[in-house]
Each structure stands twice: as C-alpha cells, then as structure tokens.
Structure 1
Amino acid sequence: MENVMYTSDYCPFCRMAYQLLDEKGVVYEKISVDENPDIWKEIHTKTGRTTVPQIYINGQYVGGYDDLSAADRSGKLSAIING
C-alpha cells in the first residue's frame, strides 16, 4: 500500500492525523511501532525523526502531523492525494 501511517496507540497526534486523512477519504494502512522496535529503527533511519505519526501518501513522505496539517492548509495535501 502506498498510503501508510506509522503510529503509536497512545499518540494524540496520530489520532488527529487519522481524523484528517479520514475526512479527505484517504485509505491508509496503520503500522504500530509500539511492539516493533525494528520498524521504529527503520522509520528513524528513513526519516531522521523520532516521533509518530510518520505519514506516506501515494508513496511520498509527508512527515508528521504538523507537516500533514500544514500541507492541508496550503492546499498541497490535495495535490499529494490526487497524485
């Protein structure tokens, strides 16, 4: 799947990202990093970030919730979603 969100069960920013993507009609796979340190290491290596969520839409790295929200406000998120 090209739409992926790396998440944690106790992350309020993850829940806000779910809500925003759900409102946009984006179907995505949630991958929890809570019980899988190998995935967490992989994401940290790829993104350089140590926070969740980490979001990919149409295979493009968007970033965390702040980045997702900023892309939505600027109109860039629609372009990313529509490929």
Structure 2
Amino acid sequence: MDLKLYTADWCRDCREAKRFLTTHSIPFTEVNIETTPGAAQEVIAHTGKRAIPQFVLNGKWVQPYKPGQGFLYDEMSELLGVTQ
C-alpha cells in the first residue's frame, strides 16, 4: 500500500488523521502543504479546493473527513482494512 497524507501543522483534522494511521501502524508519507513546494497546488488540482487532510491511497485521492463532522473513523477503517 502506498499512502500519502497531505497536511498542515495548524490543521486539527490532519493531526487526527496522523494519530489514526500511527495508532494502527499504517505507514504513510506526510506531505506538508506549507513546507513542500507545489503541494498546496497539487491538492487544489486534484480536489478543486484547498482541503486537508487528504489521503492519496495507491494514486486515488480520498478525503478522510467531513467539514463539521471531523475524521471519518468508520469509513477510513474499512478503506484501510483496520479492525477497531
């Protein structure tokens, strides 16, 4: 599995996504949109908005949260094969 996680330090949902992945020992590569040149533009190009966190799982872009609802634990557990 190849998983990238687009984040920013100030993003609460990004911290929760990292915590989820780390807790379940899911390896990922973090791409900070504020410190990685072109990363913010890449998110916009693929999603149409500057919305983080974003997972890129084997090349497929997935938004692991819903605004106002937070991280989607059940959906991400199913997607990543995690048993809660």
Scaled by the length of structure 2, the TM-score of the pair is 0.72
1:31 aligns with 2:6: no
SS of 1:55's partner is strand
How many equivalent residue pairs?
79
> 1:9-20 counterparts in 2 under 5 A?
9-20=9-20
Output the amino acid matched with 1:40: A
Structure 2: runs of 5+ lacking an equivalent: none
Output the amino acid matched with 2:22: D
Distance 1:9 1:42 in 2: 18
Distance 2:76 2:35 in 1: 30
Aligned to 2:53: 53
Scaled by the length of structure 1, the TM-score of the pair is 0.72
Q: Percent identity?
A: 25
Which has more strand, going by share of residues? 2
Distance 1:36 1:27 in 2: 19
Paired residues of 1:51 and 1:64 also in contact (CA < 8 A): no
SS of 1:56's partner is strand
Distance 1:36 1:22 in 2: 21
**Cα-Cα RMSD:** 2.4
Structure 1: runs of 5+ lacking an equivalent: none
Tell me how far 1:60 sits from its aligned partner.
Answer: 3.0
Which has more helix, going by share of residues? 1
